[in-house]
A = this chain, B = another copy of it.
Amino acid sequence: MLEFYSGKMSDFQSMFDYFNRFQSLSPASQEAIVNICSSVKIPKNKDLQSIGHTCKTIYFVQNGLARIYYYKDGNDITESFAFENSLIARVESLFTGKPSKKGIQVLEDAEFIGIPSTSLFELYDLHHDIERLFRKIFEAAYVDTVNRIESLQFHSAEERYRSLLLESPSILKRVPLKHISSYLGITQVSLSRIRAQI
């Protein structure tokens, strides 16, 4: 049993390192999380979660890269990216229980740890530190989102592009520009013009 879990724990070490930055967990809580998690490998360009289904799993990106996307008037819009060592979930579905009109697509061959939300929320009753951990994680995500509103509300497209490059210098090498442009709230053509100016 020890070996079994120590094996799993080493698979999941990067996730627990990430968790520990928010909230330390008791060994029992860590074990409880390990017991509900599973690994998922998805190749490039495949969907990890498809549009129309209700979000029932939170994923930790072990390596690779994914995006949340949806269609607006037939156009493919990227809502957000998730690089390795971060969480990804369609929260507007996760927290409302309604089907999501968004999907998660893998942009580089990727490995995820899937955390089933129903099981996780049950653990909240048994392990206070797990509820606290995810409270803090989503508070931080909330703050990021508020800051992004500010960016979309009153920064020019060029300012937003420059900021993105500062935040994620590797993004140009890893993500097609068409996804970057919709993430910034502009067209591909417009982004191409901005890049030509710089």
Contacts and interface: CB of A to CB of B under 8 A. Distances in A.
Interface of A: 70, 72, 75, 77, 79, 91-92, 95-96, 124, 128, 131-132, 134-135, 138-143, 145-150, 152-154, 182, 185
Nearest to A68: B146
Contact of A154 (B77, B91, B92): B77
B185 A142 contact: no
Contacts of A182: 153-154
A150 B131 CA distance: 28
A146 B148 CA distance: 10
Nearest to A73: B154
A138 B146 CA distance: 12
A67 to B, nearest CB: 13
Contacts of A150: 70, 79
A154 to B, nearest CB: 5
Given A77-B153, A96-B143, A152-B152, 10 more contacts: A79-B153, A91-B139, A92-B147, A95-B142, A131-B132, A135-B138, A138-B138, A138-B139, A145-B145, A149-B152
A148 B146 CA distance: 10
A146 B91 contact: yes
Contacts of A95: 139-140, 142-143
Contacts of A91: 139, 142-143, 146
Contacts of A141: 142
21 contacts: A70-B150, A72-B154, A77-B154, A79-B149, A79-B150, A92-B143, A92-B147, A95-B142, A131-B132, A131-B135, A138-B138, A138-B142, A141-B142, A142-B142, A145-B145, A145-B149, A148-B149, A149-B152, A152-B152, A152-B153, A152-B185
